[in-house]
């Protein structure tokens, strides 16, 4: 029987703690690392991050856009990074933020979450703003293969708040809460941590989005906003409370800026800080 993504994530969080390392080879970082602005550069960058993160953290999160900008060669580089991350025992979350309807959304699931696909990842970030139901085909295809999704719900970017906090026609319900209800209803994992997760920013006020602890009790949370965006490991428990054990704390620039010679040590130091906060 295929082990569900939620179960695999639970085991990885318990073993390594909550740190998720972003793989964001944007132009300034390639220059700082002494790498070329090319597909070869982003491949070398990504593989170096995989080597540094392996056995130290639960997950990595390659930002697809920084590979796509080099066209087909960039996507080939991304394929190598995704495969290397999974081979190293890391959970690999493709940060692609795909969102569409029907067979198109199913096609994205086949591209990113089908076993053996060239771009195979363990989970994919997806956008619900064509309606939560629009994601059903992707989610129902992903779950039987032990894959997961993280649905944008309450993001840390200021521009998102007005939309995500807007009230629906259901009393007390925000758009973020409706998205949460619709997509988590598609998760059939049962007890334990689910495989349909949410992107919930570490720097937001969850109450303003009407996302309380009871609603999110068994939902994996991918939390941007740690590191360069201001949240610290010590904020994990204060911001997420009883949900802290379900959180992947995503950091990118704060770790990647250490450079190729220091990144492994920086990841190890940062992971240890999160583990201390979680009592590990």
Q: Which of 26, 69, 97, 273 is catalytic?
A: 97
CA pair distance 175, 161, nearest whole angstrom? 10
Is residue 97 among the annotated active site residues?
yes
Q: Where are the alpha helices (DSSP H) in the chain?
A: 5-16, 27-32, 39-53, 65-68, 71-87, 102-113, 136-142, 158-164, 175-184, 235-240, 253-256, 263-277
Cα dihedral 164, 5, 145, 82 sign: positive
Picking from 168, 154, 182, the residue whose alpha carbon sits closest to that of residue 243 is 154
The DSSP string of 10-32 is HHHHHHH-SEEEEE---HHHHHH
Catalytic residues: 97
């Amino acid at each position: 029987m295929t082990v569900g993504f939620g179960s695999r994530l639970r085991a990885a969080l318990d073993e390594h703690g909550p740190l998720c390392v972003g793989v964001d080879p944007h132009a300034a970082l390639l220059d700082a690392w002494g790498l070329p602005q090319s597909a070869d550069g982003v491949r070398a960058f990504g593989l170096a991050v995989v080597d540094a993160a392996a056995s130290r953290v639960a997950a990595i999160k390659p930002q697809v856009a920084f590979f796509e900008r080099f066209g087909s060669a960039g996507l080939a580089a991304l394929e190598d990074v995704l495969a290397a991350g999974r081979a190293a025992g890391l959970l690999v979350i493709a940060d692609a933020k795909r969102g569409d309807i029907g067979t198109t959304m199913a096609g994205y699931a086949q591209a990113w979450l089908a076993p053996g696909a060239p771009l195979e990842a363990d989970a994919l970030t997806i956008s619900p703003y064509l309606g939560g139901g629009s994601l059903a085909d992707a989610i129902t295809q992903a779950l039987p293969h032990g894959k997961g999704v993280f649905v944008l719900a309450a993001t840390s970017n200021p521009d998102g708040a007005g939309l995500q906090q807007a009230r629906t026609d259901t009393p007390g319900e925000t758009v973020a809460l409706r998205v949460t209800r619709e997509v988590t209803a598609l998760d059939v994992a049962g007890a334990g941590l689910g495989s349909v997760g949410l992107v919930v920013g570490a720097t937001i006020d969850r109450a303003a989005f009407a996302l309380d602890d009871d609603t999110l009790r068994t939902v994996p949370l991918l939390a941007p906003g740690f590191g360069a965006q201001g949240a610290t490991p010590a904020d994990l428990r204060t911001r997420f409370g009883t949900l802290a054990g379900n959180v992947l704390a995503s950091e990118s620039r704060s770790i990647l800026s250490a450079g190729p010679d220091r990144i492994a040590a920086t990841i190890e130091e940062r992971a240890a800080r999160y583990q201390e906060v979680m009592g590990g």
